[in-house]
Amino acid sequence: MVLTHPKRALALGFLSWLVPFAFAFSVFPLKQASPALFDTVMSLAVIIVAAWLARRYFRDTSPRPGEALLLGFLWLSVNLVLDYPMFAYGPMKMTAARYYAEIGAGYLLYPAFLAGAAWVMR
């Protein structure tokens, strides 16, 4: 399986990181008050962004589960590459184990959601 629009996939991959990252700033005070609620809100943000961006990616074709899964793993990779250095070397100084447990694993929503949505649509 190949990506039919690789440049579009990369550009949208950047947005898949930027939009939730920017949104997190506005709801970050919630993390102190209720960490579990913050995690739920952020998961919902990732799913909503995934749906919006998938619609943009597949705007001129029907989504195929294999391509959607590959797209999801690309977006997962983009998010990890852009995100991890900021949390590991920025002000939070998170260890790799803590980053992947608290934040990185959440990006698995991209391949799971995209593949599942494409499978339902077939």
Q: Does 1 reside within a domain?
A: no
Q: Does 60 reside within a domain?
A: yes
Q: Mean of the per-residue pLDDT values for the chain? A: 96
Distances (CA, A) of 31 to 38, 41, 44, 76: 5, 10, 15, 23
22-44 pLDDT tens trace: 999 999 999 999 999 999 999 99
Residue whose C-alpha is closest to residue 73's, from 10, 20, 21, 27: 10
pLDDT in single tens digits along all 122 residues of the chain: 899 999 999 999 999 999 999 999 999 999 999 999 999 999 999 999 999 999 999 999 999 999 999 999 999 999 999 999 999 998 889 999 999 999 999 999 999 999 999 999 98
Q: Does 40 reside within a domain?
A: yes
**CA count, 13 A, side-chain hemisphere, 63:** 23
Distance CA 120, CA 98 (A): 34
Distance CA 17, CA 4 (A): 21
Count of structural domains within the chain: 1
**Which domain does 42 fall in, by range?**
6-121
- Look up residue 76 and give its two tokens: 């997962």
> Contact at 8 Å (CB) between 98 and 106?
no
pTM for the whole thing?
0.93
